């Protein structure tokens, strides 16, 4: 975290990756400039009490402002596609629509790294970013798995499809995931905990795949569902290219 009006202002002006800004609920004056910069950069602002900031700052002068900075730098979607090209492989991408639990994001990045995916895409608003909790939950995968943060998931899906990447949503009432051809350039979309995938995002996908639910509970944890799908993609790729050409 960084504290103080000038440090936070300079971090915003420099383009540093910031997850969230905390502003004392009674602050005024130059805080307006910080709020304006945060809005321009699409950074979430949360009003909190002086007591909370005092606790977080542990005696440091915070001047009513603090910022959570990212635990790791973000990649771009182009970086992810370039990574696949450098490896001579078809793109294998995980898209997360509104994942808010940092433990889920960390676990998904860990599974993505182990399954040989090329990158993870998350959205800027109403979703968790690359926090310290995510870094810990990823068990080090955050250092190796590129993560791009985009403003509009639907538009990103359109751009991937323009590059001949097939995009499948993981949701109810779709094709059994073991029956769907998941080879070739592919991205899978995993929805938020509870809310699932937004309808406008699902409509942009080429299809829907489902995991069979045979018990009394009708859904899996997002990171578990993602891991199952990633390894089905890995299985199909390995079966298609037993010598490991792709």
Q: What pLDDT shows up at residue 244?
A: 55
Average pLDDT, rounded, for the chain = 91
Altogether, the residues listed in the chain come to a count of 246
pTM of the model: 0.81
Report residue 236's pLDDT band, with 50, 70 and 90 as the boundaries: very high
Sorted by sequence, the CB contacts under 8 Å of residue 12 that are 6+ apart come out as 18, 34, 37, 38, 41, 43
Give the Cβ contact number of residue 52 at 10 Å: 14
Q: Which of 209, 211, 190 is nearest to 201 (CA)?
A: 190
Q: What pLDDT shows up at residue 61?
A: 85
SS3 101: coil
Q: Give me the percent of the chain exceeding a pLDDT of 70.
A: 98
**Class of residue 228 by CB neighbours under 10 A (exposed 0-12, middle 13-18, buried 19+):** middle
pLDDT digits (tens, 9 = 90+) for 50-101: 999 999 888 888 889 999 888 888 999 999 999 999 999 999 999 999 999 9
Q: How far apart are CA 229 and CA 117, in angstroms?
A: 11
Whether 246 has a pLDDT exceeding 60, the answer reads no
Report residue 115's pLDDT band, with 50, 70 and 90 as the boundaries: very high
Report residue 243's pLDDT band, with 50, 70 and 90 as the boundaries: low
Least confident of 123-137, 154-168, 194-208: 123-137
Report residue 138: phi and psi, to 5°: -75, -10
Which runs of consecutive H residues, i.e. helices, occur in 63-145?
77-87, 102-115, 132-137
Can you name the residues that pair with 207 across neighbouring β-strands?
168
CB 106 within 8 A of CB 142: yes
Q: Which of 100, 123, 116, 120 is nearest to 193 (CA)?
A: 100
User: For 17-42, what is the mean pLDDT?
Assistant: 85
Whether 219 has a pLDDT exceeding 80, the answer reads no
Can you name the residues that pair with 18 across neighbouring β-strands?
69
Domains of the chain in start order, with CATH, are 2-69 (3.30.1330.30), 77-240 (3.40.1280.10)
Sorted by sequence, the CB contacts under 8 Å of residue 43 that are 6+ apart come out as 12, 18, 19, 20, 21
Please tell me what DSSP assigns to residue 202. H
User: Between β-strands 92-97 and 119-123, what pairing exists: parallel, antiparallel or unpaired?
Assistant: parallel
pLDDT digits (tens, 9 = 90+) for 164-209: 999 999 998 899 999 999 999 999 999 987 788 999 999 999 999 9
SS3 151: coil
Q: Which of 246, 232, 240 is nearest to 115 (CA)?
A: 232
CA distances from 180 to 5, 170, 213, 216, 228 (A): 53, 12, 17, 25, 14
Q: What pLDDT shows up at residue 58?
A: 86
């Amino acid at each position: 975290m960084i504290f103080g009006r000038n440090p936070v202002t300079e971090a915003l002006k420099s383009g540093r990756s910031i997850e969230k800004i905390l502003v004392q609920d009674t602050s005024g004056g130059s805080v307006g400039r910080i709020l304006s910069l945060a809005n321009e950069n699409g950074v979430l602002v949360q009003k909190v009490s002086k007591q909370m900031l005092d606790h977080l700052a542990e005696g440091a002068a915070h001047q009513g402002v603090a910022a959570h900075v990212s635990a790791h730098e973000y990649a771009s979607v182009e970086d992810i596609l370039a990574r696949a090209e450098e490896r001579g492989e078809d793109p294998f991408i995980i898209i997360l629509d509104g994942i808010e639990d940092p433990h889920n994001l960390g676990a998904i990045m860990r599974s993505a790294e182990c399954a040989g995916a090329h990158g993870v895409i998350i959205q800027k608003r109403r979703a968790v970013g690359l926090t310290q909790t995510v870094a810990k939950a990823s068990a080090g995968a955050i250092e190796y798995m590129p993560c791009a943060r985009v403003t509009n998931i639907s538009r990103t899906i359109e751009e991937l499809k323009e590059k001949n990447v097939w995009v499948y949503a993981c949701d109810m009432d779709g094709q059994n995931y073991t029956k769907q051809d998941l080879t070739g350039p592919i991205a899978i979309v995993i929805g938020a905990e509870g809310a699932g995938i937004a309808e406008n995002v699902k409509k942009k996908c080429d299809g829907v795949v489902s995991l069979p639910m045979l018990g009394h509970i009708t859904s899996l944890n997002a990171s578990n569902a993602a891991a199952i799908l990633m390894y089905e993609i890995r299985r199909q790729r390995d079966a298609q290219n037993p010598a490991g050409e792709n």
